[in-house]
Structure 1
Amino acid sequence: MKNNLYNGLDLTIGFSLGLLALGVYLATLSVGAYPGDSASYIVQVSGLFPRLSPLNPFWSAISYLIVQIPFGSMALKLNVFSALCGAASVLLMYLVVCGTIRNIIDIHVVDSKRAVIASRLAGSTSALFLAFCIPFWIVSNRAHMASFDVFIMTGMAWLFLKYVNNGSQRLILLFALLYGLSVVEFATMIVLFPLFGGYLLFNLWKREQLEIGFILRIVVSGLAGLLFYFIAAWFFAGSEGCQMREYGNYFQVIWYMWTEQYMLIAKSLPKTGWLLVLIMTSLPWLTCLFISTRALNAEKEWTYYLLHIVMTGLIISVLLNAPFAPWSMFKMSHLLVTPYVLIASVFGYLVAYWYLLPSFLWLDSESPVLVRLGEKLGPYLAFPFFVLVVVTPFSNYKICDGRWAGAVNTYARTVLKCLAPEHQCLVTDGVIDNHLLIAADDCGRKINILNIRNGDNEPYMSYIAAKFDSPRLKNLARTGMFPMLQEWIETDVEIKNKLAIEWPCDLWVGAGYSVVPYGLVTIGEQDIHNLVPDVLLAKNRELQNNVIQVLQNCTNDVSLSRMARHLLRGISLNVVNLGCLMEDLGRKDDAFRLYAEARNICPENISALLNQSSMVAAGYKTDKRDSIKNDMNALNSGDIRRRPDIWTLSRSYGYVRTPAAFAQLGLVWAFSGQPGAAVTGLKKAMELLPEKSKGLAKQMLADVYLVQDHDEDSESLYYELLIENASNKRALMGMARVSARKHDLKKALDYLKKAENAGVPKSVITMEMALFNVMFGNIAQARIGLEEVVDLKPEGVMGANIGRAWIMLMGIYLQQRDLPALSECVKRIEENKTLNKGLAFIAKGHVGLAQNNLMEARNNFCTALDAIPNNILIIELLLRLDVVEGKKKESEGHVQQLLKLDPNNALGNYIRGAVQFDNMEYALAEDSYRKSLQRRRSPEVLNDLAWVLQRRDACHEAERLIRESISLNDKNYISWDTFGVVLMKLNKLDEAEKALDRSMSLAGREVMSVIIHMAQVNILKGSKQKAMDLISMISAKQSSMSAENSKDYEKIQRALIDM
């Protein structure tokens, strides 16, 4: 049955089904952007965030044009576009399945009227199956490229079916062109190419059109479509997203497009359960391709009956979302849409098969009753299938309803209302970032979103770095989000007017600010007594109440309930912290009421319960005393292993306002690399403690100050502790360290003596004295002290100290080139079973360095780092090796690793500065060098910073720095060369010439850059002949000059001509 593929009724049915689907999609349309991929797609195609992939160029281009339509919100427009694509796909699915079934059925075997009915039943049920299966419904009522992809796939199938029906050469050439374009857009079309291509060749053979010339025209048409790869890559190359992904040049973008499509195909099926997915979807579809012609044309082989029964069971189980159906197994974690398109077509085929089967069974029967029965039974077999596809949408409705997204978008809009007009940035946990960007664009506001959870994502942090002008912040952004934000908050006096924080509010605490909840965000305040509590409470209530009710309603939604609970927990956290603030302001009643509200918003808020319990224990009068006591008993009787620690409580539910909690939190902050926050936590603990109990908190606070290099603050606290108790061991040790930092070795040793008399173990004293000797350059004495430490029994020294002692001792042996001592180190460490095995590999690495076997040294240091992860000393050793061996890529990795652990690390910042200088990022290099010098005044860093400064015409500061560098090491010819250039720029030509002469004498050879600088000085002095003599020394080496030297050489030649 081939000629009249469709008639008016077929088109009416198809359009009716499409309109029905469109109506349902619009009725369940996402209110605003839907969380997840949909919201991410919207911000990328609209330009609110860089587009990160060149794939799906057609969908992106069409979506961008739709966004430009000057009415309606961008989310609404793109949601409707998806609904239209979904509805069009439903129409095309009907036409494809209906037409395919009609083409397959032989009217010489099957009555033509029955064939038409079967094809319409197949088309209708397959279209309804597709329209209302969960994955396709989901992508059709919110902005999603999958609905467009299915539209392409069904459209190509429909066009191919048209060609099969009429054999038009123009049609197949158009199909080839569009297929090439569809491959660029949708990677699945690559997978389907063998099927389309194979059937095309078969059809050409049947039509006797299998000619080389015609096939070449088809191939050329297809290749013409594939040329769009190059156009799509051209549009993406150089974009912000391309720079974030570090794709490089245009041809690399093309290569990555192909690579990403390959990865999409390779990972289109989940790692676990992929075989089951194939069995449930692709296998039945491929089976239908091979058996449909015989099965729909009166095939009576019993195995066919059995096969169709099995397939029917599989497909119905998928329709009903059985536990082993793709959606039930993977849900949104791996949204599989294409398999459901295949299943929908199989479902339609099965409906046609079961409708026609009874008429086949008794087709040749001599009994009129059986023949009549066969004619009447078909609709009864098909009816249950129709009922299933009509009923299923009602069970899928709750999962697919996109309207609940309105709650999340309401939350995002409310967050923006919480921001002052001057706020430029908002720190978030990343959950609703896309919604915030969309909401900000809808209301015409510009806000920078800083996702703290993306802080270790290098492309993202490069994007964030570009938003700041400060070289320091740009550098720290390359290290990570947390150190960048800490620096910004601590150094910008106007920060509270520029920044708001949704999460985590600890960032304010770390910089010494009090946390002030303001609706759904927090702001920082240095003096809480500047606040007006009644106004603050009223504003918080106004901003929170509406969104709380909306989110609580949203917890009933199957898909968004988890996100709604997360957002409610965040509001509850803010309410708890507002309660803590009210307690600090002496408003106990408000605080208790707020803690109760927090528990109503989020019943599992343990912090609120603990704060209520603490208030009751302190004498607060309330009629809820007994219920609070019961709740605390229930909490304490639970599994202690599942009880959250204080760190989790503060970040998940708000601060617990007790001295012990703040002290514990301070320690956690200190050990997690946040000494600023630790100071605030310990100060808070001291405020809440009675005077007689403040000693321990004061001692911990002094130790944290010492870690922060706040020597005066730590010295003051240690002094107070010593006044209270002159034999305080930790205070005496602390004063010794502070004195050593102030370069007062005598005073430091006096304190060590007092500490020893107070009972500090001799091993600890010896270790500390060795450290002081290293600090003051007394290497011989340091060696003696360290050897004494490692000779002690391990239990006499803390494990960390004994390991550190061994590493320092190895460094001294290496510096003294004492290979036997290093070999002895290896032996002793390997024999000592109590030491970390990584120490032996460190020792072997030092032996490799001493023997100039750099590969052996590197291998051992890498093994040591595996055994002692994140050890700064080992990473520094590897970084020094990278520099010696010229391994730029490895050095950048180790710099990043080092600065994540210690953003102020001297070596890490120095090497980063050197890399930035090579990349001509002079402002960033200057900042890195300055940060390195804050930790250690190294002559090399002083020299390099002076060189950068003279390049930036800051020659007076450069002179001061280079003089300091030479005072530390006057044997370095490079420093004298820098000195000469700086003096030359300051027009101190005689001094400059002397400095350059010194440089040449120290170098002991002809150094090209020094000769060029000497020639420049002589030109400025008017000594043409001397300048010419100097230039002649290097004229034969021009081809080996660096770019900078070559440029200076050409300038000198021009200057000599003009003299």
Structure 2
Amino acid sequence: MGFLRRTFFSPPWRLIRFFIPFTAVVPLIVYRLTLFTHVYPGVSSTLTTAAAGLCPQDDLAYPLFAMAARWVAGLSFADLPTRLNLFCAMCGGLAVSLFYLLVARLVFIFACENPGGAMAAMPPRLRGTDDDADDADIPLRGQDGFATNADGTLSIPASVQAHNRRVAYAAVLGGLGAASVLAFCAPFWLVATRLYPYAFDLLLIFLIINLIISYDQRGNQVSLFVSVLLLGACSVESPIFLLLMPIGGVILLRSIILNGHATTYRVLFVVLTGFVGLLLALYVLWQTAEVCAAIPVPAPRPILRVFLETMKRELIRWIPSFGWSYVFVQFLFPASISFFIFSHAFKRRTPFLLLTQLALVVPLLPTLLNLSVARGADGEMTWLGRMLNWVHLDTSIWGVARLTSKIPVYQHVIIALFIGMLVASWFLMREIFEEKIEEELDYYEYRDNPLVCRIGAVLCWPLLALALLVPFFSYSDIDPDEGTFADRVIDEIYRELDGRDWIVNMRLLKHHLMVRAHRDGRQLTFLATDDAQGARSKQNLETALRTDPSFATSRYRLINAADLSTAAFLREWFRHDTNAFKRVVLFDSPELWRDNGFLALPTGFFLSGAPRDTGVDTAALLTQYYAFGEAMAPLVNPKTPDTIRYYAYVRKGLNGQIARMGNELAVLLVAKGRVAEAAALLEHVSNRAPDNLSVVLNRYELATNKEGGTEAQGEIETQLRLMQRNEDTFALTVTSLQERDGTLLNQDVLGYVRKNIWDRGAGQRHQWATAKGFRTDPMTAMRDRKRELVQTITRQIDANEFDDAERHLNLLLDLDDRDSFALINKARIAIERRDLPEAGLWMDLAKENKVPEEELVWHEAALLILDGKNDEARELLNKVIPSRPGDIRLWGLLAEILLQAGEYPELESRVFPALRSAASKREHYLMHMVRGYILRNNGPQDYPLARSSFLRALALNRHLHQVREDLLRLDDVLDVPAFSEEDAKEVLRLNPEHAFANYLWGSVRLRRGELDLAEDLFKRSLEKERNAPAYAGLGAVLFERGEMEQAEKFLRRSLDMDGQRLFTLHTLARLLIATGRLDEASRALAPVMDSLPDDLDVRLTWINLLMRQRKLDQAAMLVSDLLDDEDLLPYHIRRRLKPLVAELSAEFSK
């Protein structure tokens, strides 16, 4: 052994390096044995599908890792999840090895006997000699400046060799302990055997830090340039690299100066290397942006916006969302005292310092032992658990994090570093009682306490043993089979899908299904109706529609519909393809089937469609549902509860999905007249998912109105009262309830239960401003309830939420059917809806209950306007307004009368100032609406301002249908494609058949050169009504295709309907020029030039006409004017201008 030690471990660093391969190979072997070979639920599944290119990346997080994962996914060995998870395992093994080396380096830095840092393990450098020194006493200097003996060997004092040997032992023990804690702590073990970016990032971080230390201690210039390159290239990977870049830069600058490398050329090369790294980072970021769902087209501004949002989101994830007290005790407190401890731990050994070290290590013990809450057989906490709970040491940080979706990897890296440094520090305390004092070693401090050193030397081994036993404590949390239930569920869903490949509203395990289909070489299309599709998703959907030959007959109609919304796309698809239902499944929103003429049939986890007139075997569906529920029970309701909250969330969602399918099947059974079976099914579903309110309400509906399960009515009412505790029953609506829990058999049952079963006071608890208790006096309680309702109704009416306001008004009328506030506002809502008979009915009721006439003035005037009696209404308003000048609603009625009469001077001079004054404290839509009409009346120069006012008025009140129509006309005149598309699509989402909106959007498509899509929109506009703009647009499409005869026919028809439409005249002039009828073209273009002399398209047409008329000099002058501002011209103008310039140059060169 002595020979081996002298041969292989003579320098201390060789001993340290000897264990580097072991710290990589051993964790890698363990990771391979415990590798998760399936798609892990959560973030890992999203990263898997993004790496395989099955779906776009959500943001710009971890671009380097994403690029590496895409490269690994493109390899051919093993299956997709296995090779991606194995890649993370390799990164984890290398990261552990680099972490071991890092800890060992830090131990040398702290344990050296002079300020030379880790160079204490090397011979001292010769800085120079004094003039009076004897040359014989000066050791020889080698090429590297180290002290050497006469035979060329390094000159190292014996005391330094002995000390460095012990420091090497301490570094090895501390590094191995730290490596064991990091490699086998549950969070890092988890991310190293699943697809997570943390192992990859930690590998880069440890590599960069080791390179920085290597250059600082040894002056290796290769380490300098590689570290600078990596600092720049990794700067966009995550926020921790953004923090590391300036810190590492400062350390490297200091090291360059100390190592004497601060020359001009070397510093310049370092700067250029950093610049190359930054360019590489930008390249990686750009490549990631091309597959990012949040960036439709890669460009600097959207990339910067999404990148900043991503960094902000990642920083927020560092903040614990749960268990702050545990994080403080077990991490923040040790971290706060660690700087003081490790700055003295290797230099002084005193009782106080030992106590601080113990104070550091005790909070780390729950992490080493992987503690969770200890409970007795009856579920109660044991006495030891209560005691540890009092000091927040009964559960580790990971035990708390399991209840959230966050993985505290970085916290465990710091904890592992603390353990390694403490092991090394306590090991070095052996020197105090192993060495003789008379040797007078340089590193010995006479102030060290021998007892403290003996205690530390003894504690070193238990702490190291705990560090090495971490794998045994953590193994229970790293089960390779945990989480495989998701793949088993997906296999069942995939089997039930059969040939259907369009999936709508799949909320859970969507990425698992993508990977499962990818294994068979299939591509599924996923749609969602609850939120607007992103631009990238729309592009993918459009690509699918263009490439699938089954959509050939209605492709462009479907692309336009898909650009509006998913519901619009499905509606058009079902309308044009009678077999489309065979390719679609819905996980919720059964109304998409019913509204389009289909039956919603529960099939496993989803709803299939069948034509409404098709016979359905409900008995078979019922048997299939019960069998499916039994088969899925072990997966969605395991006997052992999940300790990871996300698993429990997924299982609860799957269980809720089965319950929703049971509810929809019950609705189908009731529709077929099988009430008894439906009642039994709902009872079964209610037991499976007791928190599903739709199921309980449907049970109550059957028990009370359908004679299904009447004996259970009392039990159901009790269950409803219990559910009220967890429901915001006051704000609950039928729409939101059906979206969340499923279809209701009778939508009125919710209102009935709210009135007769649920305690109204408890239902209003979410509206209370203070935590008042219920009063015992019934009259006082009634007054409080009415007050809360009045406040809520007033707020909803002010926000123009008339549906919710009417529902609460009905509640108020249930409390007091003579309440004047309720009667007045019921009449107001009817007036707002332009329902004259109902408004008159509520007005009569209000008068019968002797509501004061001054409170009915607005209603009387509004009824007169609805009845067409504007003069009488105006007279009434002019009589009342002087006494109530601050009533903005009265001014609004007067404004409506003046707008209908076209009396803009009075509107501007009298009404608008009053509206602005009345809306000074609170913004009101009437002020913006009237301002918009005034600006529109001023002329085209104020049209942009008028549009802004209309948009603001619509934002405050979405029920202004006439304002929306006038906004479309403004967009047509303004001719700004972005404005036209935005406003037209907003209208078409509400009314897909709107003629003018279809034309307006078609004109935008036409300008972009999307002729097929534009043609479909123009035809759809004409299907609704024959109108001049759509004929003109269709003629323009045919002209662009070269079908001159048909194009002219449509343009002439448009002019017959509207002879002053400039767009039609301009298009006709272009057509006449192309067909050589220059005189007619000149006559058609003249009024266009008079009205739009600055329009660039018109000027190009005029230039073309002049060239055909051989007026080349005049055409050349116009072309020269355009070329002066060529850089400012839009792309489509430059595209038309270039051939004209070439043709004109050819004419002049003849």
TM-score range, shorter chain: 0.7 to 0.9
- In the alignment, the residues of structure 1 paired with residue 880 and residue 37 of structure 2 have an alpha-carbon distance, to the nearest angstrom, of 70
Q: Please tell me whether residue 156 in structure 1 is matched to residue 208 in structure 2.
A: yes
- In the alignment, the residues of structure 2 paired with residue 580 and residue 825 of structure 1 have an alpha-carbon distance, to the nearest angstrom, of 55
Q: Please tell me whether residue 432 in structure 1 is matched to residue 509 in structure 2.
A: yes
* Superposed displacement of residue 105, structure 1: 1.8
Q: 2:40 aligns with which of 18, 31, 34?
A: 34
Q: 1:561 aligns with which of 617, 642, 648?
A: 648
Q: Please tell me whether residue 651 in structure 1 is matched to residue 739 in structure 2.
A: yes
Amino acid at match of 1:1028: Q
Stretch moving more, 436-445 or 1005-1014: 1005-1014
- In the alignment, the residues of structure 1 paired with residue 494 and residue 253 of structure 2 have an alpha-carbon distance, to the nearest angstrom, of 59
Change (3 A) 1:484 1:565: same
Equivalence for 1:823 = 909
1:212-266 per-residue CA deviation (whole Å, 9 max, x = no partner) reads: 55444544544444442355367557x4x268613445x7798679867865786
Contact 2:293–2:534 (8 Å) recurs in 1: no
Q: Please tell me whether residue 918 in structure 1 is matched to residue 1007 in structure 2.
A: yes
Amino acid at match of 2:348: A
Change (3 A) 1:932 1:1039: farther
* Superposed displacement of residue 174, structure 1: 4.3
Contact 1:365–1:371 (8 Å) recurs in 2: no
Contact 2:62–2:236 (8 Å) recurs in 1: yes
Matches within 5 A, 1:820-899: 820-826=906-912, 837-851=924-938, 854=942, 857=946, 860-861=949-950, 864-865=953-954, 867-868=956-957, 871=960, 873-874=962-963, 893-895=982-984, 897-899=986-988
Amino acid at match of 1:440: A
Amino acid at match of 1:68: G
Equivalence for 1:521 = 606
* Superposed displacement of residue 95, structure 1: 2.7
Contact 2:605–2:661 (8 Å) recurs in 1: yes
Change (3 A) 1:811 1:272: farther
1:616-649 per-residue CA deviation (whole Å, 9 max, x = no partner) reads: 5567687xx6556423333246538645654344
Equivalence for 1:468 = 545
Stretch moving more, 1046-1055 or 467-476: 1046-1055
Amino acid at match of 1:142: R
Change (3 A) 1:58 1:763: closer
* Superposed displacement of residue 106, structure 1: 3.3
1:49-107 per-residue CA deviation (whole Å, 9 max, x = no partner) reads: 23466764543343234323434321122122212322332233223213431453237
1:148-167 per-residue CA deviation (whole Å, 9 max, x = no partner) reads: 11122223334445555654
Equivalence for 1:4 = 11
Give ranges in structure 1 of 5+ residues lacking alignment.
Answer: 666-733, 739-747, 773-780, 1018-1024
Q: 1:352 aligns with which of 413, 419, 424?
A: 424
Amino acid at match of 1:951: E
Q: What fraction of aligned residue pairs are identical, expressed as a percent? A: 20
Change (3 A) 1:274 1:858: farther
Equivalence for 2:724 = 639
Q: Please tell me whether residue 245 in structure 1 is matched to residue 295 in structure 2.
A: yes
Cα RMSD after superposing both structures? 5.5
Q: Please tell me whether residue 63 in structure 1 is matched to residue 69 in structure 2.
A: yes
Equivalence for 2:179 = 127
Equivalence for 1:968 = 1057
Contact 2:59–2:310 (8 Å) recurs in 1: no
Amino acid at match of 2:666: G
Q: 1:584 aligns with which of 671, 674, 681?
A: 671
Larger proportion of helix: 1
Contact 2:1069–2:1084 (8 Å) recurs in 1: no
- In the alignment, the residues of structure 2 paired with residue 215 and residue 166 of structure 1 have an alpha-carbon distance, to the nearest angstrom, of 18
Matches within 5 A, 1:268-279: 269-270=318-319
Contact 2:177–2:419 (8 Å) recurs in 1: yes
Q: Please tell me whether residue 951 in structure 1 is matched to residue 1040 in structure 2.
A: yes
* Superposed displacement of residue 905, structure 1: 5.0
- In the alignment, the residues of structure 1 paired with residue 704 and residue 1045 of structure 2 have an alpha-carbon distance, to the nearest angstrom, of 64
TM-score, normalised via structure 2 length: 0.69
Q: 2:85 aligns with which of 79, 82, 85?
A: 79
Equivalence for 1:45 = 51
Change (3 A) 1:942 1:1038: same
Contact 1:455–1:482 (8 Å) recurs in 2: no
Q: 1:337 aligns with which of 404, 409, 420?
A: 409
Change (3 A) 1:314 1:993: farther
Equivalence for 2:529 = 452
Amino acid at match of 1:378: G
- In the alignment, the residues of structure 2 paired with residue 30 and residue 94 of structure 1 have an alpha-carbon distance, to the nearest angstrom, of 25
Equivalence for 1:1036 = 1117
Aligned residues: 947
Amino acid at match of 2:72: I
Q: Secondary structure at the match of 1:524?
A: strand
* Superposed displacement of residue 995, structure 1: 7.9
Contact 1:480–1:900 (8 Å) recurs in 2: yes
Q: 1:405 aligns with which of 480, 483, 508?
A: 483
Contact 2:60–2:310 (8 Å) recurs in 1: no
Matches within 5 A, 1:280-359: 292=342, 294-298=344-348, 300=350, 304=353, 308=357, 311-312=360-361, 315=364, 328=400, 335-356=407-428
Contact 2:401–2:407 (8 Å) recurs in 1: no
Q: Please tell me whether residue 492 in structure 1 is matched to residue 577 in structure 2.
A: yes
Q: Please tell me whether residue 136 in structure 1 is matched to residue 221 in structure 2.
A: no
Amino acid at match of 2:1029: E
Q: Please tell me whether residue 551 in structure 1 is matched to residue 628 in structure 2.
A: no
Change (3 A) 1:807 1:365: farther
Change (3 A) 1:67 1:248: closer
Amino acid at match of 2:11: N
1:709-765 per-residue CA deviation (whole Å, 9 max, x = no partner) reads: xxxxxxxxxxxxxxxxxxxxxxxxx9xx99xxxxxxxxx99x99x999x99999999
- In the alignment, the residues of structure 2 paired with residue 408 and residue 792 of structure 1 have an alpha-carbon distance, to the nearest angstrom, of 72
Equivalence for 2:767 = none
Equivalence for 1:775 = none
Amino acid at match of 2:205: M
Contact 1:99–1:119 (8 Å) recurs in 2: yes
- In the alignment, the residues of structure 2 paired with residue 260 and residue 426 of structure 1 have an alpha-carbon distance, to the nearest angstrom, of 30
Change (3 A) 1:399 1:859: farther
- In the alignment, the residues of structure 2 paired with residue 759 and residue 210 of structure 1 have an alpha-carbon distance, to the nearest angstrom, of 93
Q: Please tell me whether residue 997 in structure 1 is matched to residue 1069 in structure 2.
A: no
- In the alignment, the residues of structure 2 paired with residue 53 and residue 638 of structure 1 have an alpha-carbon distance, to the nearest angstrom, of 39
Contact 1:31–1:404 (8 Å) recurs in 2: no
Contact 2:295–2:302 (8 Å) recurs in 1: no
Amino acid at match of 2:1002: G
Change (3 A) 1:200 1:286: farther
Contact 1:461–1:480 (8 Å) recurs in 2: no
Contact 2:1048–2:1071 (8 Å) recurs in 1: yes
Equivalence for 1:415 = 493
Contact 2:12–2:168 (8 Å) recurs in 1: no
Q: Secondary structure at the match of 1:40?
A: helix
Change (3 A) 1:1055 1:496: farther
- In the alignment, the residues of structure 2 paired with residue 570 and residue 501 of structure 1 have an alpha-carbon distance, to the nearest angstrom, of 11
Q: Secondary structure at the match of 1:504?
A: coil
Matches within 5 A, 1:663-812: 809=897, 811-812=899-900
Matches within 5 A, 1:111-260: 114-163=166-215, 166-183=218-235, 185=237, 188-203=240-255, 207-229=259-281, 231-232=283-284, 235=287, 239=290, 241=291, 245-248=295-298
Stretch moving more, 1049-1058 or 638-647: 1049-1058
Stretch moving more, 270-279 or 608-617: 270-279
Contact 1:906–1:933 (8 Å) recurs in 2: yes
Q: Secondary structure at the match of 1:245?
A: coil
1:15-69 per-residue CA deviation (whole Å, 9 max, x = no partner) reads: 5555564465456544522222211111111111234667645433432343234
- In the alignment, the residues of structure 1 paired with residue 574 and residue 210 of structure 2 have an alpha-carbon distance, to the nearest angstrom, of 60
Equivalence for 2:137 = none
Contact 1:895–1:908 (8 Å) recurs in 2: yes
- In the alignment, the residues of structure 1 paired with residue 972 and residue 1036 of structure 2 have an alpha-carbon distance, to the nearest angstrom, of 19
